[in-house]
Amino acid sequence: MAKQRILTGITTTGTPHLGNYVGAIRPAIAASRDESSESFFFLADYHALIKCQDPQLIRQSSREIAATWLALGLDTDKALFYRQSDIPEITELTWVLCCNAAKGLMNRAHAYKAAVQSNEEAGADPDFAITMGLFSYPILMAADILMFSAQKIPVGRDQIQHVEMARDIAQRFNHNFTEVFTLPEALVSDGTAVLHRLDGRKMSKSYKNTIPLFLDEKTLLKLINKIKTNLLEPGEPKQPDDSTVFQLWAAFASAEETARMRREFEAGIAWGEAKKQLFELINSELAGARDQYKRLINDPAYIESVLLRGAERARQHSSIMMQKVRAAVGIAAL
């Protein structure tokens, strides 16, 4: 039976935090161990250019994200792990898809619409500060996905629309030319909580105020102690379900441990005590990987070699796909 192909990209504009780990990295690495599937994970550094004009930050983030996945035990002999910009066929395909994707479809992309709306609200020109990169973002993402005939695309909710657009673009291409592309599907894992920020808002790369994954113990403890709670005293029952402390606990603990903590909340555990236990739990899961991360982050040459090897493997697929695409549209030797 053919293996199911899973693919996901990580935009290189930040430092991985606990929310990324729980919601994306940990489940992706676990899935990549499954023999019935084949995983493609990549650093979406060309996507990063859309939101970030700081070269230093993009380089730093690429290094941190790669070191993070390796430190957490991604088996790069099995999974393909590469950097988008090392696969020139992806940008080539992006152009071909640009010539196929309807502009009207792109007009409906949430990220673009939100940018227009905030300009309008500010009384500015609707196109103010909107680049063609932002507008065409879903097409680059479609190229990432369609290039490797990926079937399942694990993403956060905010990216579902982009995967559906990739599917639309693939369908249109297959219809206009020949059946070249596999139709992808978004895979949204509901089991993993969307973590909240320390102040209770959603933990996302675009906000500050998250807990980076590989802090030293002291800083980790400090940030956990800073998680916003209410003023309920020890002994007063606490509501677990709207608490960031409990949410994080549930993301790291077993089902039994989670049930126990729920009872402790209801019995009025002190916030200080709950946070202390939370620190110990998270720290014990991450301590080994943190040591590994420290070694890796100081060995960029090694990380680079892993990425280049991944790119070499990925290009075995992308060069064949690009040949098919070119042939389909009539870009061919005479």
- For 233, which DSSP code? P
Part in contact with ligand TRP (CB under 6 A); list of ranges 27-35, 140-148, 222-230, 274-282: 140-148
C-beta closer to ligand TRP: residue 46 or 246: 46
Of 139, 124, 13, nearest to 64 (Cα)?
13
End-to-end Cα, the chain, rounded Å: 38
Q: Nearest-CB residue to ligand TRP?
A: 9
147 token code pair = 């290039």
Residues 6+ apart with CB under 8 A from 115: 129, 130, 134
Residues of this chain, 201-230, that bind ligand TRP according to CB under 6 A? none
Of 179, 169, 184, nearest to 8 (Cα)?
184
Give dist(CA 114, CA 112) in Å, integer: 5
Q: Is 144 in the site for ligand TRP (CB under 6 A)?
A: yes
- Smallest separation, CB 247 to ligand TRP (Å): 21
Residues of this chain, 283-302, that bind ligand TRP according to CB under 6 A? none
Which residue, chain included where needed, has tokens 């696969």? 87
Part in contact with ligand TRP (CB under 6 A); list of ranges 1-9, 196-204, 234-242, 243-251: 1-9
The single residue among 9, 23, 240, 310 that binds ligand TRP, judged by CB under 6 A, is 9
Residues 6+ apart with CB under 8 A from 107: 113
264 token code pair = 């402790």
Q: Is 39 in the site for ligand TRP (CB under 6 A)?
A: no
The single residue among 90, 153, 297, 306 that binds ligand TRP, judged by CB under 6 A, is 153
Size of the site for ligand TRP (CB under 6 A): 12
Part in contact with ligand TRP (CB under 6 A); list of ranges 151-159, 168-176, 288-296, 319-327: 151-159
Strand partners, 43: 10, 83
Sign of the torsion angle spanned by Cα atoms 249, 253, 256, 257: negative
- 268: three-class secondary structure by DSSP: coil
Q: Are 35 and 145 in contact (CB under 8 A)?
A: no
- Smallest separation, CB 197 to ligand TRP (Å): 17
Q: Is 141 in the site for ligand TRP (CB under 6 A)?
A: yes
Q: Is 44 in the site for ligand TRP (CB under 6 A)?
A: yes
Part in contact with ligand TRP (CB under 6 A); list of ranges 3-11, 93-101, 113-121, 286-294: 3-11
C-beta closer to ligand TRP: residue 45 or 264: 45
Give dist(CA 211, CA 230) in Å, integer: 19
C-beta closer to ligand TRP: residue 153 or 274: 153
Give dist(CA 75, CA 274) in Å, integer: 35
C-beta closer to ligand TRP: residue 153 or 215: 153
Phi, psi of 39 (to 5 degrees): -110, 140
Residues of this chain, 45-64, that bind ligand TRP according to CB under 6 A? 47
Residues of this chain, 159-188, that bind ligand TRP according to CB under 6 A? 159
Residues of this chain that interact with ligand TRP (CB under 6 A) are: 7-9, 11, 44, 47, 141, 144-145, 153, 155, 159
